[in-house]
Amino acid sequence: MTDLITPSAQLKSRKLAEKRFQWYGRGAIFASLAFLVVMVGSILYKGSGAFTTTDVAIVVDLGPEAVDPANPQDARFEKIVKDALKARFPDANKRAERRKLYGLVSNDAGFALERFVLANPDAIGTQAKVWFRASDDLDILLKGTVDRTVDESERRLSDQEIGWIDTLVADGDVKRGFNWSFFTNGDSREPELAGILSALTGSALTLLVCFLFSFPVAIMAAIYLEEFAPKNRFSDIIEVNINNLAAVPSIVFGLLGLSMLLNTFGMPRSSPLVGGLVLSLMTLPTIIIAARASLRAVPPSIREAALGMGASPVQATFHHVAPLALPGIMTGTIVGMAQALGETAPLLMIGMVAFIVDVPQSILEPATALPVQIFLWADAPERAFLEKTSAAIIVLLLFLITMNLLAIVLRRRFEKRF
Amino acid sequence: MFTKTLCVSAIALATAAAAPAFARDQIKIVGSSTVFPFSTTVAERFGKSTEFKTPVVESTGSGGGLKLFCAGVGEDTPDITNASRRIKASEVQMCADNGVTDIVEAKIGYDGIVLANSKESGQLSISLGDLFMALAKDVPGEAGETTPNPYTMWNEINPDLPAVKIEVLGPPPTSGTRDAFVELAMEGGCKAVDWVKDLKKTDKNAYKALCHTIREDGAYVEAGENDNLIVQKLQANPAAFGIFGYSFLEQNSDAVQGSMINGVAPEFELIAEGDYPVSRSLYFYVKKAHVGEVAGIEQFLAEFTSEDAWGEEGYLADKGLIPMTEAEREQGAKAITGLMNLSM
């Protein structure tokens, strides 16, 4: 006889199994969250240094011998900076020592002084205290990335250099500040000058082209296939092909872009136009599949009601079905665009893996993209590029989050419940 | 398929609309990832100090760069290609077939390839012959036979070497550094065996197969093209050795040390003087037909060959390029700025 009050052994084990399953689920969520936290945490930790810079103040002699008031642009600014450094630390006598001394400031210092003088003509003829961007070696020493306790032979900076730096710090001639130039400069071979703007602009232009091309084409293809195309063997073949296309490795699209867009049509190499078109070939199937799925999810009653009220099939589709499917279509589009944002392989084939200093002004100018910039910096020998790499990843993630937020906002706006 | 045709027609439309605006006023450079840091440094300085636009430098690898370079003359092809080895006769032929007949060769300096390990372990001193024995797939015996590489510990090859498992992290076959390492270090060590040296004359293919093949049993680990990654792995594993370019050793001198090869340490002066056995020349090639067509090429060459750039105390030396001797530089600068044709 079974007892209804005290649970049987079988029921107990079933309940236990259910509990266990829930714990597995929680464990899985915890594990993936932990990975995410570790990954984002380590990137933030490594990249945080890139958002501050170090500047060094040096008194430069802009007297009439150094700068001609009539033609200030002809002065030898690099020499003025070097003379100023020599005057600051006269103990650098040997050639090698002097080279190290000049290395305290970024090798951009001559150009920086030129910009300063041209912007402040009043300073000509005086002894001016000018702030220069410090070199990457000095910067990472102060950030503590380099261990200064190890033997002199094992460091990049000699005891003498560290002595100079400590003197500068003690005299208050070193300041740390937010690295605005990281957001306003293009790429550079000097870590202290390198910025993300050219890559960010390149990514934005590429995605714009990708969106403008793939969104309308994909929507039209999806609506036609879902609402109008006759269901026969031919449309089945198209469907299978679209699904297959979504699984093609992206490098293949890069090769297609190389042979067709560049070689056959002669479009400009390294340009966001070509990059965007290649990426849109990659995102098209993703968007088509998502759009078709969300069109299919619109209840048939909507369609039937519209047709019943005398709407033509085109009116029923565009006035009633498509607006309801729009949130789903947009989610699919954003997923596709996010994929495109992170892609480097196809860009390699069409020349976007390149050193680009100038910020691209149009979709025809050479450009690079954020993931490519990360790849290039990760490969650079200078130690200070390590933090730049992580900082670029942070920017890429922020870009992605912004895109996703936009998608959510748009979806909220257009979502209709019924 | 329908979408594909749609794409094609849409692309054709887009091109038709965009085609006329491609007059180029910016130098285009492609080529070796080893020369990339130097080429980009010069490009950046050039862009800042002149009225010209900063050249675009692509990292495509030496072979890939020459392929693009030799594709023809015209706006769509690069003006300059970097190479971490000399152009091959077959590539000169390929260029000529596509109408690229006049090429200026510029040798810019040297790059050392180092075998390095973590500073936590002792410095290794090894001969090229022993290094070959440690990394070859098949090792030559005394009497002219070959056996699959039996060595698992360094001291099995030579009792003077440490009693540590052979574990070397290096670049994959696609890398120019690997090509140079195989040619200079492996072949250099391989030739030290007398009968192998004779084999070169009788059976060149067998010689190459023996000397150029790196073992695949796990002692040599292909660690990818990223040299920073190898440096990081060496820090984590003090028993392992890594193969990478000199500039990475210089930048990470607090963490890793270069091994002495044939008794010579990989130091700046020793590589520059040619004492260090594993060093190679770096080049770039200029398409003469583009000089004058694309603004700034001559000025770019002048900047690259100035003492400020490639000299002993130039800014390229700061980036890890090992300069040529003064005489070589003087002669080179003349030949390059004078646009002398390449002679093989």
HEC profile for B64-103? HHHHHHCCCCCCCCCCEEEECCCCCHHHHHHHHHCCCCCE
Q: Do B18 and A381 touch (CB under 8 A)?
A: no
Measured CA to CA, the distance from residue A417 to residue A318 in angstroms comes to 18
Q: Which residue of B has its CA nearest to A99?
A: B313
Confidence of residue B16 (pLDDT cuts 50, 70, 90): very low
Q: What ranges do the domains of chain B cover?
A: 24-110+281-337, 112-279
* Chain B closest-CA separation from residue A240 CA (Å): 10
Contact A194, A53 (CB under 8 A): no
CATH number of B112-279, picked from 1.25.40.10, 3.10.129.10, 3.40.50.970, 3.40.190.10 = 3.40.190.10
Predicted pLDDT at B20: 31
Hey, is the C-beta of A358 within 8 angstroms of any chain B C-beta? yes
Predicted pLDDT at B315: 86
CB burial readout B323-336, b (16+ within 10 A) else e: bbeeeebeebbebb
Q: Do A353 and B11 touch (CB under 8 A)?
A: no
Among the listed residues B48, B101, B36, the one whose alpha carbon sits nearest the alpha carbon of residue B300: B48
Of A36-50, A232-246, B217-231, B233-247, which gets the smallest average pLDDT?
A: B217-231
Measured CA to CA, the distance from residue A246 to residue A360 in angstroms comes to 30
* Chain A closest-CA separation from residue B333 CA (Å): 24
Fold of A197-414: MetI-like fold (1.10.3720)
* Digit-coded pLDDT (tens) for A289-345: 999 999 999 999 999 999 999 999 999 999 989 888 988 898 889 889 998 998 888
Q: Do B247 and A154 touch (CB under 8 A)?
A: no
The DSSP element (H or E) to which A197 belongs, if any, is helix A197-223
Predicted pLDDT at A417: 64
Chain B residues in contact with A79 by the CB 8 A cut-off are: none
Predicted pLDDT at B38: 92
Q: Which residues 75-104 of chain A have a CB within 8 Å of chain B?
A: 95, 99, 103
Measured CA to CA, the distance from residue B119 to residue B66 in angstroms comes to 38
Predicted pLDDT at B11: 46
Q: Do B2 and A221 touch (CB under 8 A)?
A: yes
Angle subtended by helix axes A159-170 and A95-102, to nearest 10? 40
Predicted pLDDT at A2: 57
Confidence of residue B7 (pLDDT cuts 50, 70, 90): very low
Q: Do A273 and B18 touch (CB under 8 A)?
A: yes
Q: Does B112-279 match B24-110+281-337 at the fold level?
A: yes
Q: How many CB pairs under 8 A join A and B?
A: 132
Question: Is residue B175 over pLDDT 60?
Answer: yes
Predicted pLDDT at B18: 38
Half-sphere exposure of B78 (CA within 13 A, CB side): 29
Predicted pLDDT at B8: 46
* Digit-coded pLDDT (tens) for B46-75: 998 888 989 999 988 888 899 999 998 888
Q: Which residue of A has its CA nearest to B244?
A: A381
Q: What is the mean pLDDT of residues B210-233?
A: 86
Rg over alpha carbons for chain A, rounded to the nearest Å, is 30
Contact A93, A121 (CB under 8 A): no
Q: Which residues 261-300 of chain A have a CB within 8 Å of chain B?
A: 261-262, 265-270, 273, 277, 281, 284-285, 288
Measured CA to CA, the distance from residue A138 to residue B48 in angstroms comes to 23
Q: What is the mean pLDDT of residues B215-225?
A: 85
Sequence-separated contacts (24+) of B252-255 with Cβ below 8 Å: B252/A383, B253/A154, B253/A155, B253/A156, B254/A146, B254/A147, B254/A150, B254/A154, B254/A155, B254/A156, B254/B119, B255/B118, B255/B119, B255/B231
* Digit-coded pLDDT (tens) for A10-63: 888 999 999 999 999 999 999 999 999 999 999 999 888 889 889 999 998 888
Q: Do A262 and B76 touch (CB under 8 A)?
A: yes
Predicted pLDDT at A209: 95
Question: Is residue B139 over pLDDT 60?
Answer: yes
| DSSP category for residue A263 | I
* Digit-coded pLDDT (tens) for B104-133: 999 999 988 999 999 888 889 999 989 999
Can you read off the two tokens belonging to residue B59? 């990292």
Measured CA to CA, the distance from residue A154 to residue A351 in angstroms comes to 39
Of A99-113, A400-414, B8-22, B167-181, which gets the smallest average pLDDT?
A: B8-22
Which residue of B59, B227, B251 is in closest CB contact with A353? B59
Hey, is the C-beta of A145 within 8 angstroms of any chain B C-beta? no
Cβ neighbours, 10 Å, residue B297? 22
Hey, is the C-beta of A241 within 8 angstroms of any chain B C-beta? yes
What 3-state class would DSSP assign to A284?
Answer: helix
**How does the average pLDDT of chain B come out, rounded?**
85
Q: Do B254 and A155 touch (CB under 8 A)?
A: yes
Chain B residues in contact with A378 by the CB 8 A cut-off are: 226, 228
Question: Is residue B96 over pLDDT 50?
Answer: yes
Predicted pLDDT at A269: 86
Q: Do B228 and A277 touch (CB under 8 A)?
A: no
Contact A385, A354 (CB under 8 A): no
Hey, is the C-beta of A243 within 8 angstroms of any chain B C-beta? no
Chain B residues in contact with A107 by the CB 8 A cut-off are: 315, 318
Q: Do A189 and B22 touch (CB under 8 A)?
A: no
Q: Do B313 and A95 touch (CB under 8 A)?
A: yes
For residue A158, count CB atoms less than 10 angstroms from its CB and return exposed for 0-12, middle for 13-18, buried for 19 or more.
middle
* Chain A closest-CA separation from residue B80 CA (Å): 14
A60 forms bridges with which residues in the sheet?
Answer: A128
Confidence of residue B5 (pLDDT cuts 50, 70, 90): very low
Measured CA to CA, the distance from residue A226 to residue A324 in angstroms comes to 14
Q: Which residue has the tokens 């004779």?
A: B198
Helix %, strand %, coil % of chain B (to 5): 45, 20, 35
Chain B residues in contact with A273 by the CB 8 A cut-off are: 14, 18
Q: How far is CA A346 from CA A47, A274, A350, A417, B244, in A?
A: 27, 10, 7, 40, 27
Predicted pLDDT at A284: 92
Predicted pLDDT at A3: 65
Low-confidence ranges of chain A (pLDDT < 70): 1-4, 153-154, 416-418
What architecture is the B24-110+281-337 domain classified under in CATH? 3-Layer(aba) Sandwich (3.40)
Can you read off the two tokens belonging to residue A117? 């003088």
Chain A residues in contact with B28 by the CB 8 A cut-off are: 269
Tell me which of A98, A269, A284, A375 to substitute to probe the interface with B (most B C-beta atoms closer than 10 Å).
A269
Tell me which of A76, A79, A107, A379 to substitute to probe the interface with B (most B C-beta atoms closer than 10 Å).
A379
Which residue of B10, B225, B319 is in closest CB contact with A213? B10
φ, ψ for residue A369, nearest 5 deg: -130, 165
Cβ neighbours, 10 Å, residue A212? 14
Q: Do B1 and A366 touch (CB under 8 A)?
A: no
Q: Do B54 and A155 touch (CB under 8 A)?
A: no
For residue A172, count CB atoms less than 10 angstroms from its CB and return exposed for 0-12, middle for 13-18, buried for 19 or more.
exposed
